[in-house]
Amino acid sequence: MNATTRLDQQLEFLIEADKLKSTLRATQLCDGSRRENSGEHSWHIALYAMTLAEHANRPINVSRVIKMLLIHDLVEIDAGDVPIHSNHDMEKHALIEQAAATRIFGMLPNDQAKAYRELWDEFEAAESDDAIFAKSIDRVQPVISNLETNGGTWPEFNVTAEQLESRVGVKVQRGAPAVWDILQSRIRAFFAVC
Residue 85 lies in a domain: yes
Residue 64 lies in a domain: yes
Q: What is the pLDDT along the chain (194 residues), one digit of tens a residue?
A: 356 899 999 999 999 999 999 999 999 999 999 999 999 999 999 999 999 999 999 999 999 999 999 999 999 999 999 878 777 778 888 999 999 999 999 999 999 999 999 999 999 999 999 999 999 999 999 999 999 999 999 999 999 999 999 999 999 999 999 999 999 999 999 999 87
**What DSSP element (H or E) covers 26?**
strand 24-28
Residue 132 lies in a domain: yes
Residue 2 lies in a domain: no
The count of structural domains within the chain is 1
Domain span at 150: 8-193
Looking at the whole model, is its pTM more than 0.85?
yes
The answer to whether 10 touches 109, Cβ cutoff 8 Å, is yes
Pairing state between β 35-37 and 24-28: antiparallel
Whole-angstrom distance, CA of residue 17 vs CA of residue 26: 20
Residue 1 lies in a domain: no
The CATH number that applies at residue 112 is 1.10.3210.10
Residue 15 lies in a domain: yes
Cα torsion angle, 102, 105, 110, 116, sign: negative
Residue 181 lies in a domain: yes
Residue 3 lies in a domain: no
